[in-house]
Structure 1
Amino acid sequence: MIEQELPWHTEPLRRELADVARMPHALLLLGTPGIGKTRYLHALAAALLCESPAADGRACGRCDACGWVGAGTHPDLRVLTYPVDDDGKVGKEIKVDQVRALSDFLVVSGHRGGRRVVLIDPADAMNTVTANTLLKTLEEPGDGLVFVMASSRPDAIPATIRSRCQVRVLEGPVMEVASAWVQGETGCTPQDAGSWLAMAGGAPLHATQFAEPGRAAAHRAMLEAIAALPETASEVAADALQRVDPRQWLPVMQRWLMDIGRCRAGAEPRYFPALAKRLAELATRTDSAALAEAGRGLAAQYRHVEHPLNPRLFCEASIECYLGAFGAPAPATGR
Structure 2
Amino acid sequence: MSGALDALSLPLDGVRLIEAGAGSGKTWTLATLYLRLLLERRLTPERVLVMTFTRAATAELAGRLRARLELAERLLHEEAPAQPRDGDGAEAAATRRLLAQALAAWDGDLDGLRRHARAARHAGDLAAVSTLHGFCQRALREIGFAAGASLEAHALLENEQALREEAAADFWRARGASDAAAARLLADAWGTPQKLARALGEARWEGRRVHAPADDGAAQAARRALERAAAAVRALNGDAFAAARQAIERATVGKTRAAKGKALERIAAAVRNEAAFDPADASLLTEAAKLLPTAFVGSQALGIAEAPALDAIRAWHAAADAARAAEAAARADAAARLLLEAR
Q: TM-score, structure 2 length as denominator?
A: 0.26
Structure whose residues are more often strand by fraction: 1
Q: TM-score, structure 1 length as denominator?
A: 0.26
Structure whose residues are more often helix by fraction: 2
